[in-house]
């Protein structure tokens, strides 16, 4: 090859950005396209568990071993995305003692640090565990923010020259002389950052090689070139609680089953999950029984969940894949391992490889293997550096500084901002003007919102996943209009209004599964604030004209005011 190969990566989830970062760091030209926001697919819809590998220590030791290796790597390179909560596999009286021993043994065989603690010791660590929990195995599970991780990978890829195009859906694969030579995308709002109301258009992106990292959507990309990629999407529900009932990842110690994990995540705890095969990764039923099952089954481990407040539920679709000859009936039996499908070897169609299956925790390792594979195609001998170079935000960072004083933020907002931003705290939080709080539930300040807008255009959902604004207890009741206002100035009012409407609808989507008790009261309050106080449900802006003259013009105002009698020299609007 004379020039640097150009690789097109399809998919802006963890796998796609992991590949893009890796290839870009090895010096290749990379373009990544994603149909929605980064994390739009499965990555944005997971429980945020940084696996220790314990969950696979009996059934799939290869995966377990990979997990513990990558767990250690991510703690290092992505420290600002990880909270090392620790985890436990807890055993109830009816759970099998034999399996408990197998789990312990499996952890040891896979190199996963594991200790047995008594029920009493477990309750000392997690006081809300059920009184009859007999014992537990502690493991180094953690919590990880998938949004922050993916954004940091994309930022790193960009720093190394990659082009990242979100809201750009692949409409076709370009095939010439029986070889994939690129792809055609439909930009929702033109190339670059998304701006509502900007005209979109199609673009042909020619590439020397294409990587299909679209997970549950891999079959659709394959179809465009007549390839059969039989991904078996499997949905799982996750229910978000309004507080952290536990500060440790709690797993049920039994072979397999629904509703067996609680992950503390930021200000919330996430209950998971189910495992149901679905036909279409974008269109499947989200059902009440799944939410009820989470609460009822996990209450066996943590009784207070029965009466606790949930703020929303969401569903994710696992991109499960197994070689055609295995034929598992039950999706829970399908391996969590990943597969690299080189379409030249598999289908006689050179120019593209698909990566399917796999797990979030091992995204980096998957990226490394596929990058090795791609580099091999071009005879490039470049070492992978993604396990050694920290992500933006996790570089040389000390949280010991007094950020509250330094940035004029009150506790706990200063602490939370710095935790989210990591080593980027200086660059983001040092502002000239005051830095008030926009989202009170999550402690997100104007500076962080503005930083996110700078990265993601007018898309408030992209701002949301970067900052957590509107993701707390009130689910945007108080802050959606504030977030919209932060867009104004950079963007016109009509663009802001479209983005605002989109955020309101997105926030409503998940709350619908939590509408009882406190959260129904909250939803009723939000509805009152947005419809009654703001009249956003009947906002005449952009609609039919209003006959203003037909309404009350008030009582007579004449004589109330005289001409301005104060000289216009009273200081400047910006202060003293």
Partner 1 sequence: MAIESEILVVGGGLAGLSSALAAARDGADVRLVSYKQSTLRQASGLVDLLGYTPDGEGPLTDPYAAMADLPASHPYQTVGVETVREAMAMFDEVSDYEGGHTDTNALLPTHGGSIKPTARYPRGAAAGLASDDRDTLLVGIEAMTDFDAPHVADHLDAVGVPFGVRGETIRFPGDLRADAKVTRYAKLLDTNGEVAVRGRNVPAREALAQRVNPLVEDAERVGFPAILGDDNPGAIRDALGDQMGVDVFEVPMGPPSLPGLRLEDRLFEALDESGASFETGNPIVDFDGDGHVERVFMEKNGARIPLSADQYVLATGGLVGKGVESDREGVSEPVFDCHVPHSDDRYDWFDTAVFGDHPFAGFGVETDDDLRPLSADGDVEFDNLRAAGSVLGGYDFAAEKSGSGVSIATGYAAGASAAAEVR
**Distance separating alpha carbons of residues 320 and 359, to the nearest angstrom:** 9
Backbone angles phi, psi at 529, to 5 degrees: -65, -45
Considering beta carbons, is residue 396 or 548 the nearer one to partner 1? 548
**Distance separating alpha carbons of residues 576 and 572, to the nearest angstrom:** 7
DSSP of 295-343, one letter per residue?
A: HHHHTTTSGGGGGPPEEEEEEEEEEE---TTT--SSGGGS---EEEEEH
From its phi and psi, is residue 222 left (phi > 0), alpha (psi between -120 and 50) or beta? Answer: alpha
DSSP of 436-449, one letter per residue?
A: -EEETTTTEEHHHH
- Shortest Å distance, C-beta 544 to partner 1: 9
Structure tokens belonging to residue 415: 């602490």
Considering beta carbons, is residue 327 or 563 the nearer one to partner 1? 563
**Distance separating alpha carbons of residues 38 and 165, to the nearest angstrom:** 9
Question: Residues 352, 173: contact at Cβ < 8 Å?
Answer: yes
- Facing residues of 270 across strands? 240, 263
Footprint on residues 491-520 left by partner 1 (CB under 8 A) = 492-494, 496-497, 504-505, 507-508, 512, 515-517, 520
The one among 433, 441, 490, 510 contacting partner 1 by CB under 8 A: 433
DSSP of 2-51, one letter per residue?
A: -SPPEEEEE--SHHHHHHHHHHHHTT-EEEEE-SSSTTTTTGGGS--EE-
- Shortest Å distance, C-beta 530 to partner 1: 8
The one among 486, 498, 499, 510 contacting partner 1 by CB under 8 A: 486
From its phi and psi, is residue 201 left (phi > 0), alpha (psi between -120 and 50) or beta? Answer: left
**DSSP reduced 3-state for 175:** strand
H helix runs in 315-399, sequence order = 343-347, 363-377
Query: Is position 405 an interface residue for partner 1 (rule: CB under 8 A)?
Result: no
Backbone angles phi, psi at 345, to 5 degrees: -70, -40
Considering beta carbons, is residue 152 or 478 the nearer one to partner 1? 478
Eight-state DSSP code of residue 105: H
Query: Is position 550 an interface residue for partner 1 (rule: CB under 8 A)?
Result: yes
The one among 31, 482, 499, 510 contacting partner 1 by CB under 8 A: 482
Query: Is position 283 an interface residue for partner 1 (rule: CB under 8 A)?
Result: no
Binding piece for partner 1, criterion CB under 8 A, among 197-205, 332-340, 342-350, 544-552: 544-552
Q: Can you tell me which residue has the tokens 């596999």?
A: 89
Binding piece for partner 1, criterion CB under 8 A, among 258-266, 382-390, 459-467, 523-531: 523-531
Considering beta carbons, is residue 160 or 420 the nearer one to partner 1? 420
Q: What count of residues does the chain have?
A: 576
Cα distances (Å, whole numbers) of residue 512 to 24, 217, 268, 473:
41, 26, 18, 14
Question: Residues 337, 62: contact at Cβ < 8 Å?
Answer: yes
Query: Is position 469 an interface residue for partner 1 (rule: CB under 8 A)?
Result: no
- Shortest Å distance, C-beta 492 to partner 1: 8
Query: Is position 560 an interface residue for partner 1 (rule: CB under 8 A)?
Result: yes
Rounded to 5°, the CA angle 242-248-252 comes to 95
Structure tokens belonging to residue 564: 């301005």
The one among 132, 330, 345, 537 contacting partner 1 by CB under 8 A: 537
Query: Is position 436 an interface residue for partner 1 (rule: CB under 8 A)?
Result: yes
- Shortest Å distance, C-beta 305 to partner 1: 12
- Shortest Å distance, C-beta 512 to partner 1: 5
Q: Can you tell me which residue has the tokens 């465009």?
A: 224
- Shortest Å distance, C-beta 521 to partner 1: 5
Considering beta carbons, is residue 1 or 568 the nearer one to partner 1? 568
**Distance separating alpha carbons of residues 148 and 444, to the nearest angstrom:** 14
Query: Is position 69 an interface residue for partner 1 (rule: CB under 8 A)?
Result: no
Footprint on residues 437-466 left by partner 1 (CB under 8 A) = 437-438, 446
Query: Is position 118 an interface residue for partner 1 (rule: CB under 8 A)?
Result: no
- Shortest Å distance, C-beta 529 to partner 1: 5
- Facing residues of 165 across strands? 33
Considering beta carbons, is residue 205 or 447 the nearer one to partner 1? 447
Binding piece for partner 1, criterion CB under 8 A, among 120-128, 169-177, 188-196, 429-437: 429-437
Considering beta carbons, is residue 295 or 463 the nearer one to partner 1? 295
The one among 408, 412, 427, 430 contacting partner 1 by CB under 8 A: 408
The one among 327, 379, 540, 559 contacting partner 1 by CB under 8 A: 540
Query: Is position 531 an interface residue for partner 1 (rule: CB under 8 A)?
Result: yes
The one among 229, 484, 499, 510 contacting partner 1 by CB under 8 A: 484
Query: Is position 551 an interface residue for partner 1 (rule: CB under 8 A)?
Result: yes
Considering beta carbons, is residue 291 or 370 the nearer one to partner 1? 291
- Non-local (6+) Cβ contacts of 38 within 8 A are 12, 13, 17, 44, 147, 150, 151, 154, 164, 166, 462, 465
Footprint on residues 290-329 left by partner 1 (CB under 8 A) = 292, 295
Number of residues that bind partner 1 (CB under 8 A): 86
- Shortest Å distance, C-beta 436 to partner 1: 4
Burial status of residue 492 (CB atoms within 10 A of its CB: 0-12, 13-18, 19 or more): middle
H helix runs in 332-424, sequence order = 343-347, 363-377, 403-407, 413-421
- Shortest Å distance, C-beta 144 to partner 1: 29
Query: Is position 565 an interface residue for partner 1 (rule: CB under 8 A)?
Result: yes
Query: Is position 555 an interface residue for partner 1 (rule: CB under 8 A)?
Result: yes
**Distance separating alpha carbons of residues 134 and 98, to the nearest angstrom:** 14
Query: Is position 564 an interface residue for partner 1 (rule: CB under 8 A)?
Result: yes
Query: Is position 561 an interface residue for partner 1 (rule: CB under 8 A)?
Result: yes
Considering beta carbons, is residue 3 or 533 the nearer one to partner 1? 533
The one among 1, 2, 400, 541 contacting partner 1 by CB under 8 A: 541
Binding piece for partner 1, criterion CB under 8 A, among 71-79, 383-391, 393-401, 546-554: 546-554
């Amino acid at each position: 090859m004379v020039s640097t190969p150009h690789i097109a990566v399809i998919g802006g989830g963890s796998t796609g950005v992991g590949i893009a970062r890796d290839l870009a760091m090895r010096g290749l030209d990379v373009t990544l396209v994603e149909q929605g926001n980064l994390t739009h697919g499965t990555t944005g819809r997971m429980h945020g568990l940084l696996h220790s590998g314990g969950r696979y220590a009996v059934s799939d030791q290869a995966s377990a071993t990979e997990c513990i290796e990558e767990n250690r790597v991510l703690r290092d390179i992505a420290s600002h995305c990880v909270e090392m909560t620790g985890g436990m596999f807890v055993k109830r009286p009816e759970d099998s003692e034999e399996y408990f021993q197998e789990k312990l043994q499996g952890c040891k065989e896979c190199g996963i640090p594991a200790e047995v603690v008594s029920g009493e010791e477990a309750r000392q660590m997690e006081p809300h565990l059920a009184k009859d929990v007999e014992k537990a195995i502690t493991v180094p599970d953690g919590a990880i923010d998938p949004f922050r991780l993916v954004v940091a990978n994309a930022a790193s890829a960009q720093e190394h020259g990659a082009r990242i195009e979100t809201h750009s859906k692949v409409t076709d694969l370009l095939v010439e002389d029986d070889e994939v030579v690129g792809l055609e995308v439909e930009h929702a709002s033109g190339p670059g950052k998304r701006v509502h109301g900007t005209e979109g258009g199609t673009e042909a992106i020619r590439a020397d090689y294409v990587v299909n990292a679209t997970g549950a959507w891999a079959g659709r990309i394959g179809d465009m070139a007549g390839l059969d990629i039989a991904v078996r999407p499997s949905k799982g529900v996750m229910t978000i609680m309004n507080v952290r009932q536990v500060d440790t990842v709690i797993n049920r110690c039994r072979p397999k089953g629904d509703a067996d994990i609680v992950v503390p995540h930021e200000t919330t705890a996430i209950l998971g999950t189910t495992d149901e095969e679905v036909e279409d990764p974008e269109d499947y039923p989200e059902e009440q029984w799944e939410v009820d099952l989470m609460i009822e089954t996990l209450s066996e481990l943590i009784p207070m969940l029965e009466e606790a407040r949930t703020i929303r539920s969401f569903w994710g679709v696992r991109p499960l894949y197994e070689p055609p000859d295995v034929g598992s009936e039950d999706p829970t039996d399908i391996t969590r391992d990943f597969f690299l499908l080189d379409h030249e070897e598999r289908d006689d169609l050179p120019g593209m490889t698909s990566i399917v299956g796999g797990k979030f925790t091992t995204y980096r390792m998957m990226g490394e293997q596929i990058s090795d594979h791609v580099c091999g195609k071009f005879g490039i001998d470049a070492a992978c550096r993604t396990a050694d170079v920290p992500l933006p935000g996790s570089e040389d960072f000390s949280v010991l500084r007094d950020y509250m004083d330094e940035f004029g933020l009150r506790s706990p907002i200063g602490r939370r901002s710095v935790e989210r931003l990591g080593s980027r705290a200086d660059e983001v939080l040092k502002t000239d003007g005051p830095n008030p709080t926009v989202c009170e539930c999550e402690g997100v300040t104007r500076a962080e919102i503005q930083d996110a807008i700078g990265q993601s255009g007018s898309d408030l959902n992209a701002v949301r996943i970067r900052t957590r604004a509107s993701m707390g207890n009130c689910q945007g009741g108080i802050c959606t209009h504030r977030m919209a206002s932060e867009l104004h100035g950079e963007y016109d009012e009509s663009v802001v209004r479209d983005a605002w409407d989109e955020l309101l609808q997105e926030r409503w989507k998940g709350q619908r599964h939590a509408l009882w008790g406190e959260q129904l009261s909250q939803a009723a309050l939000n509805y009152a604030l947005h419809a009654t106080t703001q009249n956003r449900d009947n906002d005449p802006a952009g609609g039919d004209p209003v006959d203003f003259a037909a309404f009350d013009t008030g009582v007579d105002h004449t004589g109330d005011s005289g001409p301005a009698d104060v000289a216009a020299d009273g200081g400047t609007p910006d202060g003293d």
